[in-house]
Structure 1
């Protein structure tokens, strides 16, 4: 894993997370829609303050922190998750990490215990006010383009020392290598040119600054 940046530069990752039906968490069990959620997890217990999206009074609930809890997974990688909203049970979670290896590891572990985890946005941020330098936004893509590009990013396909090939990714998606290649080219054309190189360059500069 890359060393932590020493100049305040980090990656901001936004994830859409759909919990499984048997996931017992007060973040989603108290209200179906929330405009903000504050979580305080200490040891094996957590306290959650949920602000309903309809503006009704704050809801406070308590729960037990288990191995498949969102907070414990993020904390295991030294990250602090911020649940920005909940819509129909789907959470938008933001966290700041040191490098893309951590993004892949966090997403991979979340997917082992939760139904759906989608990478929505990845941005390089810098300085005390977290000014965004480079943004990788999947929202402009079609569902198939988003699925292919997200898998490629999470699996490290765009990394210089990647150990995953196009054929492996295509097999995981159930499509041909040529179809995936075209899908990735089209998706990248919709994004900022060479955004992956810019993100890697920003991470490299931060680790050597």
Structure 2
């Protein structure tokens, strides 16, 4: 059975058509004067567009929607119990019993909400942590293969003048200009295709990993 490492090593040939023409252009004459080679990668784009990552995020969002529906039902039960309590005489055994039940329901609901919020937050954090490690591994693999010394993170998002936050993000970009030939993002996307298992049917509904 082939290991992930063996599968990844097979990417090199396929990626040659993506990166080699870009990264090798002009290097023969420039190596003596500029031995360091630089590339860029759009991490945000990868997180937003890789099918495997999108499936993972969708699963967490599905859990959240399911819990929201369950939470709505429990809140309605709590409201119904509170309304029933108002119909009883304060101080009566029935009132005391229902009041205690209501307090218990409310306390349990709050604890369940806190637990679920943490569970979902942890699940989301794990998605970003695990996939960032995969992205970093892909960058390292390609950088080693193509003898690249430095890979910088950049954001390819275009500024939208109608959206203030978009303008701010654009103005704050660390990289003002780069040659498109330096973009390693397509190669990293192909690397992730090999290391992130994705249901083809789900991936098809969520888009493609090919960057235009």
TM-score range, shorter chain: under 0.3
- TM-score, with length taken from structure 2: 0.22
Q: Which has the higher contact order (CA 8 A, sep 6+)?
A: 2
- TM-score, with length taken from structure 1: 0.22
Higher strand proportion, which one?
A: 1
Higher helix proportion, which one?
A: 2
